[in-house]
Amino acid sequence: MDRPQSWEARAEEYSLYGFTDLPSVHRRGTVVLTHGEGPYVVDVNGRRYLDANSGLWNMVAGFDHKGLAEAAKAQYDRFPGYHAFFGRMSDQTVMLSEKLVEISPFARGKVFYTNSGSEANDTMVKMLWFLHASEGDPARRKILTRWNAYHGVTAVSASMTGKPYNEVFGLPLPGFIHLTCPHYWRHGEAGESEEQFTARLARELEETIRREGADTIAGFFAEPVMGAGGVIPPSRGYFQAVLPILRRHGIPMISDEVICGFGRTGQTWGCETYDFMPDAIISSKNLTAGLFPMGAVILGPDLADRLQAAIEEIEEFPHGFTASGHPVGCAIALKAIDVVMNEGLADNVRRLAPRMEAGLRAIMERSDHIGELRGIGFMWALEAVKDKPTKTPFDGSLSVSERIANTCTDLGLICRPLGQSIVLCPPFILTEAQMEEMLEKLELALNRVF
Ligand code: PLP
């Protein structure tokens, strides 16, 4: 076989790329990485990049955390793999479930494991369908989410995701209803206050429930802060406005904390930061600090009790993945929780978040083409606009955010273009000096592009 010579050519020859702008790759080549050092990743040519993406929001403890690697190695040596079915599960799985319920906002609860965030959302939908049917409400199958939400890529979680790109798959499936994205800056109407905007979205929810019939709706899913939608915090009072409506109609509220969980917003859960109590939490990514593919559904007391009762009726819940509750994943997650909570990582987010916000705000103010800064904790986005006063977006085939991100890469900074926004979500271990490096490189890139 005649192999191409360079790493870049080999990557393109043998890999089918997902979520990648191919024209950029064809023009610029693939960055092939070999290792990481703290918040930096290093490519085959020895170039270092400060990864302000944390991998994909998940490498919160950086790329070479010794304690996490040791926890993984110790568990691989002791008991390298098992499932959590047929009346057997590893001691690590038992301990992690206990820990997750303990640190959850729930007084009691139960945990179910998957391999990813998508599968955790899928699992939650199946749980709701099963639960409603077993409680005599088989018509309760519709799922409410929001435009611009990101809940994953499996057929069900992609149907929950509110992104037009899923049309290429013929998705969403029927019965997945998307409500207005709670982005006041973009969707607020002329003369409408933020409070009025929130009230309008609450009315839309109420009207949707009335139109569809409450007895046809299985659940409402929301990220506390939309992540892959471009870091969109809820409009003021959003969750306080929608939750009473959901409660009144008996619709469970699921907080998708795949990104927000474990400190990204400055507190353990996004629902704590935004002060609401969901019925269940979806977790992944930070759960293992990115070292193991794992997701979890954390059920609060009401859903846990009702599901347990429904499962007792049929004696066996026919759902689970080969690696559900994998002992190595659980051992890593136990260590990751300890590292984030007790080794000062969550504290570091709280300490440096104001500096990140102030630095990005100053960059926005100095730029003629940054229209909005959005975010909280260690998740922020700058939205590029052609014209600031009218918020007119740029046009053109290669989006301006893609050009900014490419220029950042040239300067040794990885950040993510999302729509017209540039997203920064650095690892929680970032030092002040690395924060300044991130801000400086970003502004340099903006000045080169505009
Ligand atoms: N939910 C949210 C909020 C996410 O951000 C993601 C991934 O980015 C997912 C679900 C899907 O997780 P995964 O990519 O592990 O399937």
Domain assignment present for residue 100? The answer is yes
**Residue 209 contacts residue 158 (beta carbons within 8 Å):** no
| Residues 300, 224 share a domain | yes
Domain assignment present for residue 24? The answer is no
| Ligand 1 close to Cβ of residue 284 (< 6 A) | yes
Interior/surface letters 241-266, b for 16+ CB within 10 angstroms, e for the rest? bbbebbeebebbbbbbbbbbbbbbbb
**Residue 120 contacts residue 284 (beta carbons within 8 Å):** yes
| Residues 435, 320 share a domain | no
> Number of folded domains in the chain?
2
How do 295-299 and 280-283 pair as beta strands? antiparallel
| Residues 320, 357 share a domain | no
Name the residue at shortest CA distance from atom 13 of ligand 1.
117
pLDDT at 347: 96
| Residues 276, 417 share a domain | no
Instruction: Give the closest residue to 219 by CA, choosing from 296, 305, 273, 281.
Output: 281
Q: Domain holding 361: CATH number?
A: 3.90.1150.10
Contacts 24+ apart (CB under 8 A), 165-172: none
**Distance (Å) from CA 283 to ligand 1 centroid:** 9
| Ligand 1 close to Cβ of residue 286 (< 6 A) | no
| Ligand 1 close to Cβ of residue 150 (< 6 A) | yes
Give yes or no for residue 3 having a pLDDT over 90: no
| Ligand 1 close to Cβ of residue 152 (< 6 A) | yes
Across residues 417-439, what is the average pLDDT?
A: 97
| Ligand 1 close to Cβ of residue 117 (< 6 A) | yes
Across residues 177-206, what is the average pLDDT?
A: 98
| Residues 408, 390 share a domain | yes
Q: Domain holding 301: CATH number?
A: 3.40.640.10
pLDDT at 2: 79
Give yes or no for residue 215 having a pLDDT over 70: yes
Across residues 288-310, what is the average pLDDT?
A: 98
Domain boundary among 296, 311, 342: 342
Residue 297 contacts by C-beta under 8 Å, 6 or more apart in sequence? 111, 112, 114, 120, 123, 124, 127, 280, 281, 282, 283
Q: Relative to the CA of 293, which ligand 1 atom is closest?
A: 15
Domain assignment present for residue 214? The answer is yes
| Residues 385, 279 share a domain | no
Domain assignment present for residue 17? The answer is no
Pocket test for ligand 1, best of 54, 113, 165, 259 (most atoms within 8 A of CB): 259
Q: How many CA atoms, within 13 angstroms, populate the side-chain half-sphere of residue 375?
A: 32
| Residues 243, 103 share a domain | yes
Pocket test for ligand 1, best of 258, 262, 298 (most atoms within 8 A of CB): 258
The two three-digit tokens of residue 344, written as one number:
């000062």
Comparing 223-237, 330-344, 397-411, the range with the smallest average pLDDT is: 397-411
| Residues 125, 228 share a domain | yes
| Ligand 1 close to Cβ of residue 146 (< 6 A) | no
| Residues 293, 388 share a domain | no
Domain assignment present for residue 265? The answer is yes
| Ligand 1 close to Cβ of residue 55 (< 6 A) | no
| Residues 264, 205 share a domain | yes
| Ligand 1 close to Cβ of residue 120 (< 6 A) | no
| Ligand 1 close to Cβ of residue 223 (< 6 A) | yes
pLDDT at 399: 86
| Residues 426, 351 share a domain | yes
Domain of residue 413: give its range: 31-64+344-449
Give yes or no for residue 368 having a pLDDT over 70: yes
User: For 98-151, what is each residue's pLDDT tens digit?
Assistant: 999 999 999 999 999 999 999 999 999 999 999 999 999 999 999 999 999 999
Give yes or no for residue 364 having a pLDDT over 90: yes
| Residues 85, 171 share a domain | yes
Domain assignment present for residue 306? The answer is yes
Domain assignment present for residue 7? The answer is no
For every residue of 35-61, DSSP letters joined together read EEETTEEEETT--EEEETTHHHHT-TT
Helix axes 327-342, 345-366, angle to 10 degrees: 70
User: For 139-188, what is each residue's pLDDT tens digit?
Assistant: 999 999 999 999 999 999 999 999 999 999 999 999 999 999 999 999 99
| Ligand 1 close to Cβ of residue 419 (< 6 A) | no
Domain boundary among 342, 360, 375: 342
Domain boundary among 288, 323, 342: 342
| Ligand 1 close to Cβ of residue 197 (< 6 A) | no
**Distance (Å) from CA 190 to ligand 1 centroid:** 33
Domain assignment present for residue 12? The answer is no
Asked whether the ipTM of the predicted complex exceeds the cut of 0.95, the reply is yes
CA-to-CA distance for 204 and 54, rounded, in angstroms? 36
**Distance (Å) from CA 168 to ligand 1 centroid:** 19
| Ligand 1 close to Cβ of residue 115 (< 6 A) | no
**Distance (Å) from CA 349 to ligand 1 centroid:** 21
pTM: 0.97
In the chain the first and final C-alpha atoms are separated, in Å, by: 46
Give yes or no for residue 397 having a pLDDT over 70: no
Q: What are the C-alpha distances in Å from 213 to residues 140, 166, 184?
A: 9, 26, 28
Task: Provide the percentage of residues in the chain whose pLDDT is more than 90.
Answer: 97
Instruction: Give the closest residue to 426 by CA, choosing from 66, 38, 57, 64.
Output: 57
Classify residue 343 by burial, with Cβ atoms within 10 Å: 0-12, 13-18, 19+. middle
